[in-house]
Chains A and B, each alone.
Chain A
Amino acid sequence: MTTKRRGMAVFAVLTAGALALSACGGGDDDSNESGGGNTESPAESGGDPITVASDAEFTSYNGNSETGNGTWNAFVLNGVQDGFWDYGPQGEIVRNEAFGTYEVTSEDPLTVRYTFAEDATWSDGVAIDCDDLLLEWATQGAGYETAEIGEDGNPIPLFRVPGTTGYDLVAKPTCQPGDKEVEFVYSEPFADWQQVTNTNMLPAHIVAEQAGITPEDLVTAIQNDDLTALAPVAEFWNTGWDMEPGALLDPAVLPSSGPYVIDSWEAGQSLTLVANENYYGDPPATDTIVIRFIPQDQQVQALANGEVDVIAPQVNVDLVASLEALGDQVTMITGDEMTWEHLDFNQTPGAVMADPNLRQAFAMCVPRQQIVDNLIAPANPEAVVMNLREFFPWDPEYDQVVGEAYGGEYDEPDIEGAAALIEAAGATGTQVRILRSDPNPRRADTVAAIKASCDQAGFEIVDTPTPDLGAGITDVTSYEVALFAWAGSGVMTSGASLYRTAEGQNPYGYSNPAVDAAWDELVVTTDEARQVELLTEIETHLWADLFSIPLYAHPGVTAHAPDVTGVQQNAAQTQVSFNMEEWSRS
């Protein structure tokens, strides 16, 4: 054994010595380096690529189809396809003048003239024109149906689109192939007329080519409602642009109308966009944008290690803390999301909250300011209590509408006042079940805060978590108050189905003829001043009736490497990549 041990001691020393000797070996390969350095791409005007994290893989070039309609595709297509307008960082409508312009030419019937910019072309050189808009109308406004009957008994639509709101009011536009101007004539006024056309317009000439016809034939087929000729068109449009992971279609099929074209895609890893050389607008500030697919909870460390430059994960307090811990290694932008939390009352006949006095008592004991201070302010120091349902605190009309619609009576909890109301109604000790989704720590904390306050006033708050919130809300016997969030869309008329009597998203039994009438008018009102008036009226009623209690807008966080400029926090659903063409590296 002794010899063996001595042997090992020698080996130990040898190993350490070897390490030391290898120090001399380090420098021996300098001569090889030039070989590797040569492969480096030459520095371009647009600078180094900027890498942004997305948490889900790309699946389709057609973000307007049933299967392609998803945030994961919008994230990429933001840079690849343009339209007449897009949402700005606060959900406002931003016109895209480089692409084209539009204006109302007649109020009755509502007529909108769309004019494509003369120099607007697809990256393959084909002009962007009326053909493309006509195809969009055909897919969404024409209501073409196949001969087949679906399981629900209705004919299956020819083009499988996720919704036709607004477009179904537009008469068939008349235009010749290649026209740069076209008019939309509405059968009735429509409040959200600006948002009718898609933000991502698709290339009609590609669809025609893939269906084996010429673009002129395509226009003719639509003009003649020729369903036989349109069948192959629909077949390609519905799924032809969908791709399996990493299997990028022929670039000729994926032209760009935006600042970037899709260059390459490595399944599960990344997708690369490069500048569109034929872009008619201002060229993008950075030539290459790399979109890396990274799970949200891993994005902060990837940013810290320089593997991505821009991240916008969903917020929680830990996330903000870990970003703050990185100090000046990253730049953090806090702000809001257009998703807002609220408490809805179940007012169906016989329900506890059918009694307006109890609704008022509940509203009086909910500590709204405290909830915002404790749960939201750590992630967004600017966060405020939301006092409206149809406007966000950053909207320009917000202050004016709040002033008229809401008296400030529920700003701070009034336990004694609430207790008096509860006692007067003889409802002391009444159980109030607050329905919320599960798991969701922030909502659990919210309910705990309400319980701490409202139990003092005489309610007995019961936290009622459910994994299936959708089914839970429809079952009006299972709760008194529902706590959840709506993801705001920026579309004004979408609120109609929430507050009108017996609408699909109003299972609470709420009914106010004045609110119904105001909504009915709003849907067909295009005058913006009148729209605000009507919304003020609606909000006033909703506060007076205590339909619901708005709480706060969800906080949002965007973080980026300090040397990247132009990144903005985006409150709308269009995600951080919405202005990728403005990002640059200083």
Chain B
Amino acid sequence: MLVFIVRRVIISFFILLAATFVMYLLTANSGNPLGDLQESRAPNREALIEARIRLLNLDTPAPLRYFIWLKGAAGCLVPFALECDLGQSIQGQDVSALLGVAFTQTLQLVVAATVLAMILGITVGIVTALRQYSGLDYTVTFSAFLFFSLPIFWVAVLLKEYGAIRFNDWLADPTVPITVAVVLGAISALFWMIVIAGDRNRRITTFVAAFVASAGALWLLSETQWFADPGLGVVVIAVTAVGLAFLTTAVVAGFTYRNVLYSALASAAVGIVCHFALGPVLDDPSSLTILLLALVTVGVGVGIGYALGGLQRRQAIQAAVFTGLGTGALLFLDRLLGAWDSYSDRVNGRVIATIGARTPNFEGTFWEEGLDRATHLVLPTIAIVLISFATYTRYTRSSMLEVLNQDYVRTARSKGLAERGVIVKHAFRNAMIPITTLMAFDFAGVLSGAVITENVFGWTGLGRLFTDSLRAVDPNPVMGFFLIAGTAAVVFNMLADIAYAFLDPRIRLS
């Protein structure tokens, strides 16, 4: 293993080195860095051109200029001994400082979206694999390919137009006309009908039930002006928390042994009690408080599971912890929505943002500031999730199907194992092995930013830094970007290989 890693690191280093050289030449020759000045008629035009030539060493031919850059960049390899100098941008700023700012922005934007896309994509992929060739499968396949083939800049602009501008207009008087409620109800009814499937009678029952429930709910929400001041309320929290308890139990252990279900339900109950008990603590908490509360939740979950679990102690602890965290998330969401009203007032009713990471100079309670972040993140996150959704569902689905057809799955079934055990323990774990590669690639991609999304939503992340610099024919920031993106690609590939060997004993490294 060690030999493998060392060899990979050495090879990767030389690959990166060669790649930086090629990249530098490509960037340096991609245009004319003096273009804007050459069309200027300012009296100091010559001096400006002279200054830029000096700043960027433009009088040195590009292949040689690369070595000037390399000399500075080499300092970054030896963190304390040498000075890390990635050069200056065309505006005379240190590239390392620019990278620092861009990197934080990119992480904020892309990490949540990528994790969300993974969770959603993998879940949906597994469900479609289990319901192969069902209406649901076809619908998901169709929409996954549809989203995958949409150009993201177009989706993003549409999202801004309808998700932000029109939505905010609508929020000024948030009523749902009856016709819209009926149409949306019908769509939701169709969805549930396809998901639940069954014979004709069942389909009709599902359709009618779902239609009445959805359209009615919309109408009710509209009538009570819920959209102007949304929130969950204790009833919804309680019902959802109990549902969550059943769901985690179903996944973790099944309902054969009641101990697990009881601990999950107990955990949910504690959460609901906290809704009332924690009132003052949650009025304006700090991030640290929230983190501590999450830790306490885990601790309480472990305690409940340990006490009630009996012979299924391990599963009981898992179910209790997951239910607890889920209920906690509900409480969090409830509080966040509680700030909606005051937040909306402070941004003049333009709740959903189209640009940037937050409202300039916005200061408020933890919840208002959180909501401010959330309303800025929601659209770019949707855009990123939509696009990467397809890869995850398709890969997971095919991988899962392949595993389900393996001999050992048939053996497991023929031994009389419960379907839940077969899927969760035998099929799912093995199906995840190829997905790790995909995840590694995706995380490497995360670190190089989401070029188009960042541009459209005005985030000054790495992708934006890259495109802006390329447009200005400014090699130094491009190289800084390339170092991060290239290193991430190389490192995560290596991690994927190592993880592979770890997950699948049949694979040997070196």
Binds B, one of A19-27, A219-227, A372-380: A19-27
Closest to B213 in A: A16
In the complex, chain B residues whose CB is within 8 Å of the CB of A19: 214, 217-218, 221, 236
What's the dominant secondary structure at chain B's contact region?
Answer: helix
In the bound complex, do residue B358 and residue A20 qualify as a contact, i.e. CB atoms below 8 Å apart? no
Given A246-B101, A270-B361, A307-B350: A486 in contact with B41 (beta carbons within 8 A): yes
Contact A8 B39 (CB under 8 A): no
Beta-carbon contact of A5 and B341 below 8 Å: no
A16 touches B364 (CB 8 A): no
State which of A18, A268, A295, A494 has its C-beta within 8 Å of the C-beta of B236. Answer: A18
Inter-chain CA distance A192–B42, complex, in Å, is 12
Is A21 a contact of B91 with CB atoms below 8 Å? no
Q: Does A414 contact B (CB under 8 A)?
A: no
* Set B102, B229, B356: member contacting A269, Cβ < 8 A: B356
A84-123 contact mask (Cβ, 8 Å, vs B): 1 or 0: 0000000000000000000000000000000000000000
Given contacts A36-B368, A268-B460, A305-B165, contact A9 B205 (CB under 8 A): yes
Task: Choose the segment among A174-182, A250-258, A286-294 that binds chain B (4+ C-beta atoms closer than 8 Å).
Answer: A286-294
Stretch at the interface among B15-23, B46-54, B262-270, B484-492: B46-54
A164 touching B32 by the CB < 8 A rule?
Answer: no
A12 at the interface (CB under 8 A from B): yes
User: Pick the contact of A165 from B44, B343, B357 — CB < 8 Å?
Assistant: B44
Cross-chain contact B210 with A13 (CB below 8 angstroms)? yes
Contact of B233 with A28 in the complex, beta carbons under 8 Å: yes
- B360 and A292 form a contact (CB under 8 A): yes
Q: At the interface, yes or no: B493 with Cβ under 8 Å from chain A?
A: no
CB pair A22–B226 under 8 Å, yes or no, is yes
Q: Is the CB of B360 within 8 A of A8?
A: no
CB-contacts of A54-74 with B (<8 A): 56-57, 59-60, 66-70, 72
Which residues of chain B from 189 to 245 have any CB-CB distance to chain A below 8 Å in the complex?
192, 195-198, 202, 205-206, 209-210, 213-214, 216-218, 220-221, 223-226, 229-237, 239-240, 243
Q: Which residue of A lies closest to B349 (CB)?
A: A306
What residue in chain B is nearest A195 (Cβ atoms)? B43
Residues from chain A with Cβ under 8 Å of B233 in the complex: 21-22, 24-26, 28
User: What CA separation (Å) do A245 and B468 show in the bound complex?
Assistant: 15
Q: Contact: B92 with A67, CB < 8 Å?
A: yes
Question: Is A162 at the interface (CB under 8 A from chain B)?
Answer: yes
Our pick among A5, A17, A37 for the contact of B202 (Cβ within 8 Å) is: A5
For B231, list chain A residues within 8 Å (CB). Answer: 22, 25-29
Stretch at the interface among A393-401, A418-426, A468-476, A538-546: A468-476
Whether B355 contacts A13 by the Cβ 8 Å rule is no
> Given known contacts A5-B198, A294-B356, A469-B32, is B192 in contact with A12 (CB within 8 Å)?
yes
Of the stretches A296-304, A444-452, A513-521, the one at the interface is: A296-304
Name which of B304-312, B451-459, B495-503 contacts chain A: B451-459
- Residues on A with C-beta less than 8 A from B368 are 36, 39
B257 to chain A, nearest CB (A): 18
Residues of B with C-beta under 8 A to A81: none
Given A37-B345, A163-B48 in contact, is the A14-B232 Cβ separation under 8 Å? no
Question: With A16-B213, A35-B283, A36-B342 given, is the CB distance from A11 to B91 under 8 Å?
Answer: no
How far, in Å, is B224 (CB) from chain A's closest CB?
4
A272 at the interface (CB under 8 A from B): yes
Residues of A within 8 A of B432 (CB): none
B354 at the interface (CB under 8 A from A): yes
A162:B101 contact, CB within 8 angstroms? no
Distance from B64 Cβ to chain A, minimum over Cβ atoms (Å): 13
Instruction: Assess the B338–A32 pair: CB atoms within 8 A.
Output: yes
Tell me, in angstroms, the Cα distance from A467 to B347 when the chains sit together. Answer: 44
Among the interface residues B34, B91, B223, B283, which one has the most CB atoms of the partner chain A within 10 A? B91
Interface size on A, residues (CB 8 A): 100
The residue on A at minimum CB distance from B197 is A5
Q: A20-B217, A66-B55, A268-B357 are known contacts. Are A59 and B91 too (CB-CB below 8 A)?
A: yes
Which of B157, B232, B367 is close to A36, meaning CB atoms less than 8 Å apart?
B367
Q: Which residue of A lies closest to B355 (CB)?
A: A302
B35: interface (CB < 8 Å) = yes
Check if A164 sits within 8 Å of B196, measured CB to CB: no
- Docked Cα-Cα span, A489 to B232, in Å, equals 60
- Considering the complex, give the chain B residue whose CB is closest to the CB of A307: B355
Q: Which residues of B contact A40 (CB under 8 A)?
A: 346
Q: In the complex, what distance in Å separates the CA atom of A40 from the CA atom of B343?
A: 10
B41 touches A495 (CB 8 A): yes
**B101 and A267 contacting across the interface, CB-CB below 8 Å:** yes
Which residues of B lie under 8 Å from residue A15 when comparing CB positions?
213
How far, in Å, is A59 (CB) from chain B's closest CB?
5
Chain B contacts of A22 at CB under 8 A?
221, 226, 230-233, 235-236
Given contacts A25-B231, A36-B368, A488-B41, whether A301 and B354 have CB atoms under 8 Å apart is yes
B363 within 8 A of A: yes
CB-based contact A33/B342 at 8 Å = yes
Q: How far is the CB of A260 from chain B (nearest CB, A)?
A: 14
**Could you say which residues of chain B place their CB within 8 Å of the CB of A471?**
32
Chain B residue numbers with a CB within 8 Å of A370 are none
Given contact pairs A14-B243, A292-B355, A468-B32, A305 touches B195 in the complex (Cβ within 8 A): no
A194 at interface by CB-CB < 8 Å:
no
- Contact status A160-B51, CB under 8 Å: yes
Q: How far is the CA of A36 from the CA of B38 in the complex (A)?
A: 53
By beta carbon, the residue of chain B nearest A474 is B38
- In the assembled complex, the CB of B25 is this many whole angstroms from the nearest CB of chain A, namely 15
Bound Cα distance A491, B102 (Å) = 38
> Contact at A33–B92, with CB atoms within 8 Å?
no
Given contacts A23-B220, A268-B105, A491-B42, contact A13 B51 (CB under 8 A): no
Task: Report if A428 contacts B (CB, 8 A).
Answer: no
Contact B220 A13, beta carbon cutoff 8 Å:
no
Judge whether B239 and A69 touch: CB under 8 Å. Answer: no
**Of B35, B243, B284, B357, the contact of A437 (CB 8 Å cutoff):** B35
Which of A16, A36, A473 is within 8 Å of B214, CB to CB?
A16
Tell me the minimal C-beta distance from A379 to chain B in angstroms.
19
Smallest distance from the beta carbon of A16 to chain B beta carbons, Å? 3
- Contact of B59 with A by CB under 8 A: yes
Q: Given A23-B226, A36-B367, A487-B39, are A270 and B101 neighbors across the interface (CB < 8 Å)?
A: no
Answer yes or no: B139 CB below 8 A from chain A CBs.
no
Q: Which residues of A contact B143 (CB under 8 A)?
A: none
Measured between beta carbons, the chain B residues less than 8 angstroms from A292 are 355-356, 360
Given contacts A9-B205, A267-B460, A469-B32, contact A25 B93 (CB under 8 A): no
Flag if B43 contacts A165 (CB, 8 Å).
yes
| A27 close to B361 (CB less than 8 A) | no
Q: Which residues of B contact A525 (CB under 8 A)?
A: none
Additional 16 contacts, C-beta under 8 A, given A24-B233, A164-B44: A5-B197, A9-B192, A12-B192, A22-B235, A23-B226, A25-B236, A28-B234, A29-B341, A39-B368, A192-B43, A270-B356, A270-B361, A302-B355, A304-B165, A473-B38, A488-B41
Q: What are 17 A-to-B residue pairs whose CB atoms are below 8 Å?
A: A12-B213, A13-B209, A14-B243, A18-B235, A22-B233, A29-B229, A32-B283, A36-B346, A60-B92, A151-B59, A166-B43, A270-B356, A298-B354, A298-B457, A298-B458, A305-B168, A306-B347
A residues with CB within 8 A of B:
2, 5, 8-9, 11-30, 32-33, 35-37, 39-40, 49, 51, 56-57, 59-60, 66-70, 72, 150-151, 160-166, 192, 242, 244-247, 264, 266-270, 272, 288, 290, 292-295, 298, 301-302, 304-308, 437, 467-471, 473, 484-489, 491, 493-495, 498, 504-505, 573
The 10 A-B pairs of least Cβ separation, nearest first, read A25-B233, A163-B44, A268-B460, A16-B213, A67-B92, A244-B97, A36-B342, A29-B338, A470-B38, A270-B360
Interface residues of B (CB under 8 A from A): 30-32, 34-35, 38-48, 51, 54-55, 59, 91-94, 97-98, 101-102, 105, 157, 160-161, 164-165, 168, 188, 192, 195-198, 202, 205-206, 209-210, 213-214, 216-218, 220-221, 223-226, 229-237, 239-240, 243, 283-284, 334, 338-339, 341-343, 345-348, 350, 352-358, 360-361, 363-365, 367-368, 455-460, 464
